[in-house]
Structure 1
Amino acid sequence: MKEKFIYILILFTSIVNYGQVNLTMKPDKSDYEGRDVVNLTIILELNGDDLVQQSPLKLPDLSKFNMVGSGSYRDGLLDPESNINASKSITRIALEPKQKGKIRIGSVLVTINNKIYKTEPFDIFIKDIDKKVPAKAVASNDVYLNMEIDDREVYQDQPTVAILRGYSRNIDNLRRVKNIRLPEEDHLDVHPINFNKSEIDPTGISNMPTQILAVFMVFPNESGYVEVPSVSASVSSYSNSNKIVSNKVKLNVKKLPADAPEGFKNAVGKFKVDVYKSTDEKVEAKKPINVTVKVSGEGNLANMHLPEIAKSEDYEIYAPKIVNNFVVGEGGFTGDISANYIIIPHKAGILNIKTEEFSFFDPENAQYVALGGKSLVLNALTAEQLYDSKTTVEKMNDYTNDFLETVDSPVLKTTAFKVKEKRKFNWNILLINISIFAGLLMLYFAFRKWQKKQRLVAESVSNKPLGSVSETEAEIRERLKTDTSDYFSYLNNLKEEQNFDAFFSTVAELDAEVRSEYFEGQGGSFVSFIENFKGRSVAEEYQNLQQRIQMEKYSPVHSEQSLDELYKDIVNIYSKISK
């Protein structure tokens, strides 16, 4: 009896070990410094001949990290003595955290023999993420550019937003950053969103003032680890211009699934396709018609291949005109893009206009969506059929439109009264057409009579005397007199926009205009001229103003208060001089 019990115990133990599944996930450590890489190790052990893995490993939500890299290894072993098959797979994932603090990493799931196995979730702690800048940039007043891309794991042709920031100890240097050039590479498409500079933040990296200089969108068109090249710019000073470049950023571009349906080219996002005739006019054989194929939605609208109209022996197609109507959205470009075709039917009858098959990849659901081809059915009529199908009112409208196009009065634009085609008989339209026709005839004869009277009046009126040379010269000078108020309003706008170079160049232009108007041909200096005609006090104020303008122009930092006072003095002095 004792031997039987031991035998049963050994048999039960062997059965338990025969079908054993072990799934674990653990990090390399629990606390991380700054931009340390988080390394996760996932181990799956299968001990048994009848264990079948029915699904790949399903990772938890890793949206709080950037995928830096991943790899896997699998090994198997068959024990000849016990005839037990054992396999072991190891998967490692390298992650870069996007935020600081405690982050929970969920469970890894796998289905084996219709049973779901999962790992236990755990927490890791990320300390402050310190963005490091070069020591040279921290110690000097130079400008440092930093390109930031939060979402570094995207699909092929899926957009990601990049932000270009500038850092400098000298705030005035941030205002001098110009000529920003975005990267140009064959393996990615870059589209600017805006180049509007943000407000300067004095508490940036290492307490350096920072400013957003540009925002742009990157569309990688190949999979793998894609490097976004540096963004270049120039910092202009009074003596020279220095070129600066930003850092480079690597993207983990996921390859699109291999089961792409027919008609898929490179559309990534969410779209719909419409095909329609652009006008309500009836279709006539051998006459051109406008057909539009419109793709609307959100995604890579600027780079995608539009579905074309399929060729047919029933009609002739001309190259389309592409019309873009989209703006920047969260998932790419939002709006629509239209291809306007001109199609000429070869014969009368039913005309079936078809488009190519169209499909797109939805990155949110990670699956393809096939929309198929769209079709537009039209009935092309001959010229006789088209004329016979019109009502009496429509024929009257055509006659009126032909008359309005032929006899166009120079007083009244008669083509604006052209009557659009109507499908129902309407007596009001007929009466309106007759009234317009009669009124136009009356206007035409009245205009001819008025022209004849004007010709007689012009012949009877004598020529106006030209006047003396001095009077004519005074009249011309009065017409060409400088309008200082326009300069003042323009200077105020430049001051509000902090466009200092244009501000001081406009002040110089104003001074030159005033000098040429009042001082041209005079002897002595302009200050002496002002003193003789406007008084000594005005001359001294003008001289002091010119000195202040030069000092403020070459000052390294311009304050709003000093510019406001300078602007008020400019308005005051030049208003007195130009009176």
Structure 2
Amino acid sequence: MKQKIIYAFFTLISVISYGQVELSMKADKTDYNGKDIVNLTIVLELNGDNLVQQSKIMLPDLSKFNMIGNGSYSQAYVDGSTNTSVEQYVTRIALEPKQKGKIRIGSVLVNVNNKIYKTEPFDIFIRDIDKKPVANVSNDVYLNMEIEDREVYQDQPTIAVLRVYSKNMDHLRKVKNIRLPQQNNINVHPVSLKRSDIDPNGFGNMASQILAVFMVFPNESGFVEVPPVSASVNTFSSKSSITSNKVKLNVKKLPEGSPESFKNAVGNFKVDVFCNSKEKIEVKKPVNVTVKVSGEGNLADMTLPKIEESPFYDVFTPKVSSYIRPGTTGMKGEILAKYVIIPKKSGDLVITTEAFSFFNPQEKEYVDLGEKKIAVTAFSHDEVLEARSTVEKVNEYTNTFLETVDSPVLKTTSFKVKEKSKFNWNIFLTNIAILLGLIIAYFLFKNWQKKRNIVKEKSTPKPLGSVAETEAEMRQSLKTDITDYFAYLENLKLSAEKQKFFETFEEMDAEVRSQYFQSSKEDFVAFLERHNGQDIAENYQQLIHKIQMEKYSPLTSEESLNDLLIDIVKLYSVISK
């Protein structure tokens, strides 16, 4: 018996000296309002040298919450009183409750030295949850904004999906005028405004439909709240507004150690600089230099590298054009900054851009592309003249003569000669023949005028004008009388001739597009975005989508046609100005 007691005593002493594991989880409080964030803190402490953590910390079921953020850190030290090493792991989790009332948070588990440790479950109480606003359509139309990836880096995109839910499938078609969120700390770019097919078995036995998909780029770190999306619901008797839920993002701060040239570019990019001029560059004459940034990321919102100033040339504000479309990890495409450079001296010049760097969220590292340079050679005016061949000089003299001679018989400007890089005897002989023929024709005409004493007032040739002015004149001549179509569509609506109504609209749309020299609807959308703004282009896309839905809908009322006609008149009156 005495041996057993001694054996138990030494066993207890060995366990105490072997090590100790402490695992705990607690919330910052037990009573929350619906807008509060539930913060959980999990602490794992290993006291001893021979303790090995054999599994990750296993969290309880948190399906009644939206996880909006998490983070962890560890520290190690030596306890002076017991002379043992202590390792401490701390994990913090931020949760957004989905329902109100009492919610039980289960145990956290961890395996250390083949033994499972767990915490005790506890309860928290949630008072009120923000309900989704509903429209006054039998209280069954809901908007819901879904963002799956709520933890991103600053200026890294996350995809948001806007869905509409309703018990009545017919009400889904009445949701219109979608307005995406706008806020200073986020940038929003649409991915698709095309409606998906209706899913009859959505959440809560309600039919659902995707209305829009868009990218959200948070431009500051911390907890960022994406404001709700709003829309309108048009019924036979009234028009009401609905809004979606808000979504909170945990925006991670970019890692430290960024290069000095880093500004706000997040993604994967490439920078090129080139000169478009094929002719010799002359001092004090403008030359075009283009800086191209291509890749995928926050391309539409980042700061572009500029051409640095130099005492050897003047640089002017660039004209920026972008060719961007949605990608898988951001907006992809290219942005062109077209600069005008005027050399101040002859000789070799090096045109340099600012250093450019970006953060790659896939590799979690900064990439420094440095400066981009292009070497050009500028010539003085005398050097340019000396370098010209005999044919080029004759062509220049011919063109000068054709520009200055005012002949009412021939349009002399049509005989102007373009510069050629290669010597061509056919062009040379043709120029001489044309020049001699024009001189002879000119003097013959003057002699003919003197013999008959004809006095005519010289008329100044009408200037040809720019390409834009010519195009405007052609567009004016082709301009469609849009009001006739409006009146005809009104008559078709009153007579309930649905098929004829949509055929007439297609005819009107085709004539308006031909007025602006756009053959397809996709090209017309791009044209409207360049000349009328993104809002008009999006309104045109939405109207075409509404037309297609109503055209093939089995139930189309006079009021639906009336709403369509109002939208058609409003939009095409702006387009055809």
Amino acid across the alignment from 1:69: G
Q: Which residue in the other structure is 2:418 paired with? A: 419
Q: What one-letter code is carried by the residue in structure 1 that aligns with 2:84?
A: I
Whether contact under 8 Å (1:351, 1:377) holds in the other structure is yes
Mean Cα displacement is larger for which, 430-439 or 406-415? 406-415
Gap regions ≥5 residues in structure 1: 1-5, 29-36, 52-56, 98-106, 109-116, 121-131, 453-479, 507-556, 565-579
For residues 165 and 394 of structure 1, do their structure 2 counterparts lie closer, same or farther at Cα, with a shift above 3 Å needed?
same
Q: Report the counterpart of residue 69 of structure 1 in structure 2.
A: 69
- Alpha-carbon spacing, 1:356–1:498, altered in 2? closer, same or farther (3 Å): farther
Over aligned residue pairs, what C-alpha RMSD do you find? 5.4
Q: CA deviation at 1:237?
A: 3.0
Counterpart code for 1:419: K
The 1:205–1:48 alpha-carbon spacing in structure 2 relative to 1, beyond 3 Å, is closer
**Contact preservation (8 Å) 2:39, 2:92:** no
1:296 matched to 2:294? The reply is: yes
Aligned equivalents of 2:399, 2:552: Cα separation in 1: 66
Structure 2 unmatched runs, 5+? 1-5, 28-37, 98-108, 117-129, 449-480, 510-549, 558-577
Q: Offset of 1:224 from its aligned partner?
A: 1.3
Contact 2:175 2:234 (C-alpha < 8 Å) held by counterparts: yes
SS of match in other structure, 1:384: helix
1:242 maps to 240
Match of 1:225 in 2: 223
CA 48–415 in structure 1, closer or farther in 2 if over 3 Å, else same: farther
Q: Structure 2: how far apart are the matches of 1:496 and 1:361?
A: 54
Which has the larger Rg?
Answer: 1
Confirm or deny that 1:84 pairs with 2:84: yes
Shift in Å, 1:143? 2.3
Give 1:216 deviation, angstroms: 1.6
**Quick one: structure 1 residues 558 and 280, their matched pair in 2 at CA, closer, same or farther if it must change by over 3 Å?**
closer
Mapping of 1:344-359 within 5 angstroms? 344-359=342-357
Distance 1:264 1:59 in 2: 38
- In 2, Cα distance between equivalents of 1:23 and 1:412: 98
Q: In the alignment, does 2:234 pair up with 1:268?
A: no
Counterpart for residue 280 of structure 1: 278
Shift of 1:502: 7.7
- Who is 1:431 aligned against? 426
CA distance 1:378–1:44, change in 2 (3 Å): farther
- Cα 1:248/1:416, change in 2 over 3 Å: farther
Which residue of 134, 138, 141 corresponds with 1:140?
Answer: 138
Assess, with a 3 A threshold, how the Cα gap between structure 1 residues 501 and 58 changes in structure 2: closer, same or farther: farther
SS at structure 2 position matched to 1:419: coil
User: Contact conserved, 1:262 with 1:358, CA < 8 A, in 2?
Assistant: no
SS at match of 1:295: strand
Instruction: Note closer, same or farther for the CA distance 1:421–1:331 as it changes in structure 2 (3 Å cut).
Output: farther
Of 437-446 and 317-326, deviating more is 437-446
| CA–CA separation in structure 2 for the residues paired with 1:408 and 1:371 | 57
- Of the candidates 370, 377, 399, which is equivalent to residue 372 of structure 1? 370
Contact 2:161/2:212 (8 A) holds in 1: yes
d(CA) in 2 for partners of 1:385, 1:495: 73
Inter-CA distance 207–285: structure 2 relative to 1 (3 Å threshold): same
Partner residue in 1 for 2:338: 340
Q: Deviations over 1:297-339 (max 9, x none)?
A: 1111110000111111111111111111111111111111111
User: C-alpha separation between the residues in 2 aligned to 1:274 and 1:118?
Assistant: 58
Q: Using the alignment, how far apart are the partners of 1:501 and 1:235 within structure 2?
A: 27
Q: Give TM-score scaled by structure 1 length.
A: 0.59
Q: Distance in 2 between matches of 1:209 and 1:238?
A: 21
**Residue 154 (structure 1) aligned with residue 152 (structure 2):** yes
2: distance between equivalents of 1:318 and 1:502?
47
CA contact (8 A) 2:143 2:164 kept: yes
Matched-pair contact (CA < 8 Å) for 2:492–2:501: no
Query: Residue 196 of structure 2 aligns to a residue in which SS?
Result: coil
Q: Does structure 1 retain, via aligned residues, the 8 Å contact 2:136–2:240? A: no
* 2:190/2:213 contact within 8 Å kept: yes
Secondary structure of the corresponding residue to residue 258 of structure 1 = coil
Counterpart in the other structure of 1:197: 195
> Do the aligned residues in 2 keep the contact of 1:66 with 1:151 (CA within 8 Å)?
no
CA distance change for structure 1 residues 562 and 330 in 2, over 3 Å: closer, same or farther?
closer
- What letter corresponds to residue 70 of structure 1 in structure 2? N
User: CA, structure 1 residues 414+341, in 2 after alignment: closer, same or farther (shift >3 Å)?
Assistant: same
In structure 2, C-alpha distance between the alignment counterparts of 1:360 and 1:119, rounded to whole Å:
46
Distance 1:234 1:390, change over 3 A: same
